[in-house]
Amino acid sequence: MSRRVPPASTEDVTPEIIRARDSDIPLDVFPSGFLELYEVLSYRNALHILYRACGEEFDQIVKALMDFRIDTMDMVRPGGNKSKVAIKMERLLHPLGWTETSIEADLDITRVSHVARTRKKKTTKLYRIPGFVAGHKIDFVKGRVAFDMEWNSKDQTFDRDINAVRALYECNIVAAGVLLTRSADLVPLFREIQSRVDIKDFKSKYGASTTWMGKLTSRLDAGRAGGAPILALGIRRSVVSDFDTWKAEHPPKRDAVFSIDQPVGGDDVC
């Protein structure tokens, strides 16, 4: 008589980690110098899809990013409703046909009743849910690609951006999205700027609770984008073209304390 072995407790089983982040991405698709300007992370094969299926749009984004530069005064000068950084990106992409885009859709439902013992079916009622899809605006959309940029908004803005890309993807409007924000590589630069200028709340403007790669990737790692492929890009210090000259012209006034959640040069930086 065999003895029944009780099933193992789930407490004794080590769970397998499910990751949306791609472990092996073809970084050689980028031109020389790109990785010195931007941190690159891909989710759900976004980089493969962009390069293979959306080549024209991908090439235009890459070229725009290679040409994109930030002046130190863009970070120091008080901004209006739209930052100087965002305006510079618009000037690169708008002439190529990239436009701000959102989607809206109602859901129509048909209820069908089936008559017993026959193959006959009868439509009995129609329903509608207005505003079933209401996506927020994406900065730039062209063809099958969505591209959004967040420079220094509150980090909750990423929830809106990710949901907008997800809505476009689930409605089959785009094949993949690209989200651009700041890399932690910029933290030493912000620290030096803070020590050289008299700007109230400069730390909070570019601090840990604003939009940067750590706040973006934590959401993408948690699967907030659903099945949407997203390429996450972080702006590195090399994109700031004139910082050494600006620093020489602005000697330190005080010690600066500037922190961010993720250490600079961590394992997640490509």
Amino acid 6: pLDDT: 63
- Return the exposure string of 169-203: e unless at least 16 CB atoms fall within 10 Å of the residue's CB, then b: beeebbbbbbbbbbbbbbbebbbbbbbbeeeeebb
Whether residues 147 and 82 fall in one domain: yes
Whether residues 122 and 232 fall in one domain: no
Parent domain of 108: 103-136
The two three-digit tokens of residue 163, written as one number: 């949901």
Amino acid 250: pLDDT: 87
Amino acid 264: pLDDT: 38
The answer on pLDDT for 56 being more than 70 is yes
The answer on pLDDT for 81 being more than 70 is no
CA distance 72 to 9: 58
Predicted structure pTM score:
0.85
CATH number at residue 229: 3.40.91.20
For the stretch 217-231, pLDDT in tens is: 999 999 999 999 999
Quick check: is 157 in a domain?
A: yes
| pLDDT mean across residues, the chain | 86
The answer on pLDDT for 267 being more than 50 is no
Task: Report the domain count for the chain.
Answer: 2
Whether residues 85 and 130 fall in one domain: no
Amino acid 265: pLDDT: 38
Whether residues 162 and 47 fall in one domain: yes
- Please report where in the chains the tokens 């951006």 appear, as a residue: 161
- Read off the pLDDT of each residue in 112-140 and give the average, rounded to a whole number: 81
Please give the share of the chain, as a percent, with pLDDT higher than 70.
85
Quick check: is 268 in a domain?
A: no
- Read off the pLDDT of each residue in 144-164 and give the average, rounded to a whole number: 94
For the stretch 196-224, pLDDT in tens is: 888 777 777 787 788 999 999 999 999 99
Q: What is the DSSP string of 215-230?
A: HHHHHHHTTTTTT--E
